[in-house]
Amino acid sequence: MGENYCKSIIGALFFLCFMTAFAQDNSVAGIISDESGPLPGVSVTEKGTSNGTVTDFDGRFSLDIQNSASETLVISFIGYKTQELPIVPGKTDYQVTLTGEVNQLDDVVVVGYGTEKRANLTGAISTIDEKAIQGKPVTNSYQALQGESSGLIIQNATSRPGSIPQINIRGISTINGNTPLIVVDGVISSLNNINPNNIESISVLKDAASAAIYGSRAANGVILVTTKQGKEGATQFQYRGSFGVQEPTNFPKYANSWEYATLRNEALLNSGMAPAFTPQEILDFKENGPNVYWNREIYKDMALQSSHNLSMSGADNGLNYLLSLGYLDQESLFKGPDYGYKRYNARINLSKSINDKLTVGGRMSFARNDIKEHAYFEQWIIEPTTRIPPIYNIVDENGDYTLVSGSNSNPLAQLEQGGTTMTQNDEFLGNFSLEFKPTEHITLQGVFGGNIVSNKNHQFRKAIDFVYPGGGNNENSVTDNYSRSLYLNPYVTATYDRTFNEKHDFDFQVGGSTEKFKTEFFGVTGIEIPGNDFGVISNAGDIQGANGSGSEWSIHSVFGKIGYSYDDRYQLKGNIRYDGSSRFSSDNRWGVFPSVSAGWIISNEDFFKSIEKTVSFAKIRASWGQLGNQDINDLYGYQSLVSSGSNVYSFGGTGVSGAYYSVSNANRTWETSTMKNLGVDLSFFERKLDLTVEVFDNLTEDILLQLPVPATYGLGQPFQNAGSVRNRGWEVSMNYDFNTGPVNHSINFNLSDNKNEIVDLKGREFINGFDVNTILREGYSINSYYALKADGYFNSEEEIANSATPIFVNDVDPGDIRYVDRNGDGQIDYENDRFILGNEFPRYTYGATYAANWNGFDFSIFVQGVGKRQQWLRGEIVEAFHNNNEGPVFERHLDRWTPENLDASYPRLTVGAESVNNAAKSDFYIFDAQYLRIKNVQLGYSLPKTAMDQMGIDNIRLYLTGLNIATFSPLNDIGVDPENVGASGRVYPVSRIFSLGLDVNF
């Protein structure tokens, strides 16, 4: 059809314009729509008069201008930003696209066990709407939220298929479980497997006042997720799909072969050993290579990623429905047989109003994860690729895998021939709800929700047959692990809500909730699979180990809240929750967690009217509250348990079992966080500019810590209520919408910081870690780095003779790192000379979005970053010839100290014991990990509505999108992603993704 069809439409349009232009010249007409189509019922008025009309079902209006002096049309509709347009008499082709009012204060915000008008909020709550998620080529919902809300800190250190980022609200208040509570449609759950396309809105509850209703579960904040449901009207179909490519980012830059060989010789000579390469060999490397960068050899240059989502929704006759299907396919960047991640999502959301008193609802979702991976430990696949120098081929000229540089295996062989691990996770979430309103003011709600998760993991590690002698990995094995968990969370609430004398809003709620979780695990490993094929457990020649375990926990809670609001000006709220946890002994089990909050909408006061034009809304909020935390992994640790293990020893050639005591602490009890929050909400220029500022002060007491205990105690570290930690910080978020001519712009910005400080540790301090030391000390942040401080290099023997040198080094030479002798005792030792040197928790986290749309085109760029963070890195990712290995040598090692290059960025090169001085734990290896990332850029085009009306399509949007477009960070030099967590850098890289997307509504 195509061309003729379009031509006839254009022709018809011209004709229509021509006709209408002749018809009336004192009238105007046009179509008003939003991004999903024509909008009926929009009010169009002549400014300064009462003359107006509303749009019809197709969004069309026409209006006779009554006052010829009028210059402006006002177009307004609830939930949308009001627009004003110049009146052009006789213009009948107004095409107006209304945009939803972001951050508007009249909208409804989902809060714990209910909803509330934004203007009435007294706690610190940020909301994220579906726009923030739409179009980002993410593989899970967390990635989409990064940088979108102040105080919400998400760290995404790897793009490994199926991996889940770290998530945190307002900093680290405890050592245990800093992950916020996630509530999906009222039921405690997770976001891991939620289809991002199903999310309608997200509320982030950050202070005690807003989170207290979740009491014991809320000390790390709460994320409330609401999934979409049908909207009143005819059935809507929606398709969203994207197709793109991923490429790996962040690799260390290697010195090439001849540079490597030169530096290797230098290091050997510096260490009193003979050089390894002759000048001829080095020349040969220079001319003929090879230059094989192993860490690139195990990854593909690109991998595909696609997703398809289809939904059907609507509401009719009291029945509200949404059905959705989703599919995600993310290929792995690892070479090998089709590694990757596939997720299948299905969701049904239903609710039915039986009559005006009773509503029944149900929401169910099913997610299936299929992850296909290699069968080896990822760190040990990556580690050799980082350290093996480029003089070796990874496969030889015959295509055989090499065994070089101290490896009895080959990482590429492990990926390509070492077998696979198949992980299949099924997650079923469901909730059934009953809402009964016996009278106008009383609502009773009962919800029975929960989830069932089963994880199945099948690993078939194949024997690898190396051509070269001495190859390891020559035994195959099969491992099957299966776990299943059941989580139930029924709750009931009764709410009383009434307005007296039009000015006194009063609400009261009580409720009770129970949570119960049980998980069971079974695993078995077998070896000697004949033929290296058909890897199932029954083919195993020998069962090597079988084990099973299980655990459960439960929490009971009773809660209540009360709220009073006077004349939309003064608000007062109180919450209380009483929680009991199975993680504590019966004497220490129950905790009471109260909160109070108040708000004052200043802009509703009479005296404010004079500046209403400039400051359209102003509110001050304050809250105080306490929350409990009991989320420790050690479920039964209030009592000492004796667990048994098989084959701990043997007698007479037969394995025997053993028994082991667990660590315990009968006295442990709730951590309590006391949170104070002060917030100001301001809107300017008729709500074009919104600004929210929050300051908070959270003090967590009785923090449950696995404090280091002396080894002489002889057992591990039990959880103890050990001290208190304070997090103080502030958050600013800002939204500004404006137009330049026909272009609508919006700018969105948030910035937050929090500073963590150990307030009380009962006068003790604790040093943790082996390769990397961290300290818990009063007055400093949790897990601050603790190391020697480097102070340049020794340039001469005289300098060495006159300086403190480490007691653990027998010979320091010029070119070695000099350390600061903190206590001035003439020697460097860890006991007395270490400093506190920052930590790896991000500070000054920010996100900024600029979006614009014009005539069907839309563009947005989203930038996100961290202003301050340190990262201690160790091992082959930073040290040349780490641990006496043959490599690595990176480009940055070329600037090493030599007698001719005193101003070097790296000390003299050494191997073996000669490296002990420079490999000491010092801030030489603590790097600045701040970053700014262009996280997402989107460019879209929505086809003109007029063209689609005829096809019965409401909206088509085509867009190009990219994720992790560019990253600016000092860590780029090292070749480690700035969000990296952990010191070794042995992780699957972060991917850059470019994708083409299509949204269709019909």
Partner 1 sequence: MMKRFYIYLSLVLTLSACTSDLDLAPIDSQSELTYWDTEEDARIFLNSIYADLENADRYLYYSTMSDDVYTRVEDYRNIASGSYGPTNGVVTNVWSSRYEAIRRTNIFFNNIDDVTDISEELRSQYKAQARFIRAWHYFYLIELYGDVPFVTDEISIEESLTLQRTDRDTILSFIYDELSAAIADLPETYPADQNGRITKGAAIAFKSRVHLYNQDYANAAELAQQLIGDYSLFPNYADLFKIGNETADEIILSLQYIPTDREHNIQYSLIPPSLGGYANFSPLQELVDSYLTVNGYGIDESMANYDPANPYQNRDPRLTASIIYDEYQMKDFAGNDIVIDTSPGAAPDGLNYSSNSTPTGYYVHKFFDPTARNQTLSGLNLILIRYAEVLLNYAEAKIEMGTFTQTDWNTTIRALRARAGLQGHALEYPGDDQSELRRIVRNERRVELAFEAGHRFFDIRRWRIAEDVLNGWTHGIQTNTSAEDDGFIRVSFRNFDPAKHYVWPIPQSEIDINDNLTQNPNW
Site for partner 1, residues 801 to 830, rule: CB under 8 A: 806-811, 829-830
Residue 566 touches partner 1, criterion: CB under 8 A: no
Instruction: Give the E-state strand segments of 908-990 in sequence order.
Output: 926-928, 931-942, 955-968
Q: Which of 38, 171, 180, 511 binds partner 1 (CB under 8 A)?
A: 511
Q: Exposed, middle or buried by CB within 10 Å (0-12, 13-18, 19+), for 631?
A: buried
Residue 497 touches partner 1, criterion: CB under 8 A: no
Please, which residue, 16 or 656, has the CB nearer to partner 1?
Answer: 656
What does the alpha-carbon distance between residue 585 and residue 961 come to, in Å, rounded to a whole number? 53
Residue 276 touches partner 1, criterion: CB under 8 A: yes
Pair type for strands 766-768 and 340-353: unpaired
Minimum CB distance to partner 1, residue 545 (Å): 8
Please, which residue, 114 or 151, has the CB nearer to partner 1?
Answer: 114
Residue 475 touches partner 1, criterion: CB under 8 A: yes
Name residue 299's beta-bridge partners: 334
Residues in 890-929 that interact with partner 1 by CB under 8 A: 912-914, 916-917, 921
Please, which residue, 518 or 676, has the CB nearer to partner 1?
Answer: 518
Distances (CA, A) of 974 to 398, 656, 923, 970: 34, 49, 15, 8
Give the up-direction half-sphere exposure of residue 357: CA atoms within 13 A in the CB hemisphere: 5
Q: Which of 82, 115, 288, 883 binds partner 1 (CB under 8 A)?
A: 883
Please, which residue, 48 or 470, has the CB nearer to partner 1?
Answer: 470
Minimum CB distance to partner 1, residue 230 (Å): 29
Residue 406 touches partner 1, criterion: CB under 8 A: yes
Residue 544 touches partner 1, criterion: CB under 8 A: yes
Q: Do residues 517 and 485 lie in contact, with contact meaning Cβ atoms separated by under 8 Å?
A: yes
Minimum CB distance to partner 1, residue 912 (Å): 6
Minimum CB distance to partner 1, residue 825 (Å): 13
Minimum CB distance to partner 1, residue 662 (Å): 7
Residue 13 touches partner 1, criterion: CB under 8 A: no
Contact letters for partner 1, residues 61-100 (x by CB under 8 A) = ----------------------------------------
Q: What angle do CA 267, 273, 278 make, to 5 degrees?
A: 75
Residues in 688-727 that interact with partner 1 by CB under 8 A: 708-715, 718, 720
Residues in 732-771 that interact with partner 1 by CB under 8 A: 764-767, 770
Minimum CB distance to partner 1, residue 542 (Å): 6
Q: What angle do CA 28, 57, 321 make, to 5 degrees?
A: 145
Q: Do residues 73 and 45 lie in contact, with contact meaning Cβ atoms separated by under 8 Å?
A: yes
888 preceded by a cis bond (ω within 30 of 0): yes
Please, which residue, 100 or 446, has the CB nearer to partner 1?
Answer: 446
Which residues, in sequence order, are CB contacts of 489 under 8 Å at separation 6+? 187, 188, 449, 450, 513, 514, 515, 516
Stretch that binds partner 1, among 107-115, 173-181, 506-514, 626-634 (CB under 8 A): 506-514
Q: Which of 520, 568, 701, 791 binds partner 1 (CB under 8 A)?
A: 520
Q: Do residues 73 and 84 lie in contact, with contact meaning Cβ atoms separated by under 8 Å?
A: yes
Which residues, in sequence order, are CB contacts of 207 under 8 Å at separation 6+? 123, 124, 623, 625, 675, 676, 677, 694, 696
- Joined together, the tokens standing for residue 589 give 């089990």
What does the alpha-carbon distance between residue 845 and residue 864 come to, in Å, rounded to a whole number? 8
Q: Which of 103, 193, 309, 493 binds partner 1 (CB under 8 A)?
A: 493
Q: Mark 951-989 as b/e (b = at least 16 C-beta within 10 Å).
A: eebbbbbebbbbbbbebebebeebbbbbbbbebbbbbbb
Minimum CB distance to partner 1, residue 709 (Å): 5
Residue 556 touches partner 1, criterion: CB under 8 A: yes
Q: Do residues 378 and 334 lie in contact, with contact meaning Cβ atoms separated by under 8 Å?
A: no
What does the alpha-carbon distance between residue 207 and residue 757 come to, in Å, rounded to a whole number? 18
Minimum CB distance to partner 1, residue 268 (Å): 10
Residue 644 touches partner 1, criterion: CB under 8 A: yes
Residue 499 touches partner 1, criterion: CB under 8 A: no
Q: Mark 404-415 as b/e (b = at least 16 C-beta within 10 Å).
A: bbebebbbbbbb
Residues in 170-229 that interact with partner 1 by CB under 8 A: none
* Listed residue (333, 329, 421, 338) closest to 369, CA to CA: 329
Residue 655 touches partner 1, criterion: CB under 8 A: yes
Residue 552 touches partner 1, criterion: CB under 8 A: yes
Minimum CB distance to partner 1, residue 758 (Å): 15
Please, which residue, 405 or 539, has the CB nearer to partner 1?
Answer: 405
Q: Which of 79, 279, 550, 899 binds partner 1 (CB under 8 A)?
A: 550
Contact letters for partner 1, residues 832-871 (x by CB under 8 A) = ----------------------------------------
Phi, psi for residue 63 in degrees, rounded to 5? -140, 135
Contact letters for partner 1, residues 597-636 (x by CB under 8 A) = --------------------------------------xx
Minimum CB distance to partner 1, residue 811 (Å): 7
Dihedral angle sign, alpha carbons of residues 831, 834, 835, 836: negative
Residue 649 touches partner 1, criterion: CB under 8 A: yes
- 880 alpha-carbon distance from chain centroid: 33
Give the up-direction half-sphere exposure of residue 708: CA atoms within 13 A in the CB hemisphere: 15
Residue 778 touches partner 1, criterion: CB under 8 A: no
Please, which residue, 248 or 814, has the CB nearer to partner 1?
Answer: 814
Minimum CB distance to partner 1, residue 78 (Å): 32
Which residues, in sequence order, are CB contacts of 846 under 8 Å at separation 6+? 147, 749, 750, 751, 752, 864, 865, 866, 867
Q: How many residues bind partner 1 (CB under 8 A)?
A: 117
Residues in 656-675 that interact with partner 1 by CB under 8 A: 656-662, 664
Please, which residue, 515 or 858, has the CB nearer to partner 1?
Answer: 515
Please, which residue, 174 or 773, has the CB nearer to partner 1?
Answer: 773
- Joined together, the tokens standing for residue 80 give 């949308």
Q: Which of 128, 403, 601, 848 binds partner 1 (CB under 8 A)?
A: 403
Residue 377 touches partner 1, criterion: CB under 8 A: no
